[in-house]
Amino acid sequence: MRILIVGGGGREHAIALAVAADDPSHLVYVAPGNPGTATIATNVPVPADDIDRLADAVDMYAIDLTIIGPEVPLALGLADRLLAEGRVVFGPIAAAAAIESSKAFAKEVMAAAGVPTAASRTFDNLHDALAFIDRHDEPLVVKASGLAAGKGAVVCATRLEAREAAREMIGDRRFGSAGDVIVVEDFLVGEELSVMAVTNGREVRLLPAAQDHKRLLEGDHGPNTGGMGAYAPVKIATPGVLARIVNEVLLPTLQELAVRDAPFRGVLYAGLMMHPDGTPNVVEFNCRLGDPETEAILPLVKSGLVALFDAAARGAPLPPLELHDGAAVTTVLASEGYPESARKDVSITIPGDLPDGVTVYHAGTTHRDDGVLVTNGGRVLAVTAVAPTFAEAQALSRDAAARIQFQGRQFRRDIGWRESNR
C-alpha cells in the first residue's frame, strides 16, 4: 500500500514508524516530514497546511491511503478535498473537525448529546466576559475557542487571573483569531485521562489510554505546553471506566455529529477529567491523534494498525488491533524559552548507544547545510521507552532523555509520577 502521512512532528514520526513496522512492503511518504521520518520514509517537501499541493502529491505518488496528523489541515478541509477527488483519507471532514477547531461548537455538541463536561459560557465580547468572570466561583478556566497549538487553555486560581487571560485572548489577541471567541468554564476536579478512539463514524476501537503532562515543570507546575510527556496504559482506565467513556462520551458525540451532517471518520480524542466518583467529564475533544500521547501509544501496537485506519477511512467494520504487553513512557525534550518562544539552530547530540526499547522521535529538528542536526521548534524530541513494567519504562525514558544534549534543553524527570504513586 502507498501511504501518505501529513505532518512533520513527533506524532507523524511515530505514525510513520508504526506503519513501516506494520508491513515493510508499505511505501510510506511524509509531508513535510522531518529528519527522523527521512530515515524510514520518503519526505515530500510540502507544508501540512498547503491543501492544493498536498492533493497534487496524493495524485503524483498514487497514494492509496492518506493519514492526516495535525489539526490544522483537517480544519482547513484537506479531508473534504481528498474525498471529493475519490481518495481514501483517515481524518474527519472540516465540519466534524470543528469538534476541536471550535471549543464553542464542541460545547454545543456535548450539551445536545448529554455528554458530561464543565458548565460554561461562550463570549465574543470582552465586556460581557469580564462581567461573567466577576460573578464566577474560583478557580475557573478560560479557553480560546479556536486552535492555539495546545496552549489556549488557562487554569486560573483567581478571578483576577481569569480577567487577565480573557483580556490577553480577546483584547490583545495573544492567539490571533483563535481567541476572538472564548469559553469560560468551571474548574473540574479529578485526574486527567486521554482516550483516543479510531472510528468509522458508527463504532469505535480504543487505543491504549494514556496520560499527558501539560505543565512545563515537574510536579505539574509552570505554564501549559503542548505536552511534556505521556505514558500508557493507565491503571485508572479499567475496563469498566473505558466502557463508560465509550457509552457516555464517544458514541453520543459521534451520533450528534452525524445528526449535524458532520460524520466523523478518523481518531476522536477525548481529553477527560475523571471525577473521583467515576464520572468522565470532557475537558476537550481533538479531531486527531494526540501529541505526545501518540509517541507512547503506537509503540504498544503489535499489528493491525494500517488495516484499522484503512477500514475506518472507508467506513467499513473495524478489525481488531493486537497490542504488546508492557508499558511505554515518553519524555519530551524542549527548546530553551519554550513555551513562550523557542531557541532554534542549536546543535543536538543523540548518543548512538541508547538501550534497546528506546526510540527517539523527532518533533522540532532539522539539518543545517553542513549536515548537523539542530533544534527547529519548541518541542524538539520525544524519547519513548517500552518495557515489561511501567517502572522500567519510566526509568529508561528518563535516563535516555538525560543523555541527549543540546544547549538550553528542558525536560521533566517525573513523567508518570501519578502512576508511580498508585
Percent of the chain with pLDDT over 90: 96
In angstroms, how far is CA 270 from the centroid of its own chain?
10
Q: Answer whether residue 152 shows pLDDT above 90.
A: no
Element (H, E) at 65: strand 65-68
User: Count of H helices and E strands in the chain?
Assistant: 14, 24
Give pLDDT, residue 395. Answer: 98
User: What's the pLDDT band for 421 if we cut at 50, 70, 90?
Assistant: confident
> What residues are paired with 196 via a beta bridge?
269
Q: pLDDT tens for residues 9-57?
A: 999 999 999 999 999 999 999 999 999 999 999 999 999 999 999 999 9
Q: pLDDT tens for residues 73-101?
A: 999 999 999 999 999 999 999 999 999 99
Q: Which residues in 124-279 belong to E strands, given as ranges? A: 140-144, 153-156, 182-186, 191-199, 204-206, 211-212, 215-217, 221-224, 229-232, 266-274
Find the DSSP H helices in 85-139: 94-101, 103-113, 126-135
Mean pLDDT score of the chain: 96
Cell of 72: 490544522
Provide φ and ψ at 105, rounded to 5°.
Answer: -60, -45
What one-character DSSP code corresponds to residue 207?
Answer: P
Give pLDDT, residue 191. Answer: 94
Give pLDDT, residue 362. Answer: 98
Task: Over range 396-421, report the average pLDDT.
Answer: 97
> 3-state DSSP call for residue 99?
helix
Give pLDDT, residue 240. Answer: 96
Rg (CA), the chain: 20
Give pLDDT, residue 52. Answer: 98
Give pLDDT, residue 151. Answer: 78
- Rounded to whole angstroms, the Cα distance separating 332 from 49 reads 24
- Rounded to whole angstroms, the Cα distance separating 299 from 290 reads 14
Task: Over range 242-266, report the average pLDDT.
Answer: 98
DSSP one-letter string for 288-346: S--TTHHHHHGGGEEE-HHHHHHHHHHTPPPPP-EE-SSEEEEEEEE-TTTTT----S-
Q: pLDDT tens for residues 158-215?
A: 999 999 999 999 999 999 999 999 999 999 999 999 999 999 999 999 999 999 999 9
Q: pLDDT tens for residues 215-233?
A: 999 999 998 899 999 999 9
Cell of 3: 501511504
Give pLDDT, residue 111. Answer: 96
CA-closest candidate to residue 348, choices 407, 402, 409, 406: 406
User: What's the pLDDT band for 278 if we cut at 50, 70, 90?
Assistant: confident
Domains of the chain, start order: 2-93 (3.40.50.20), 125-180 (3.30.1490.20), 189-323 (3.30.470.20), 327-420 (3.90.600.10)
Give pLDDT, residue 390. Answer: 98
**367 or 278: whose pLDDT is higher?**
367
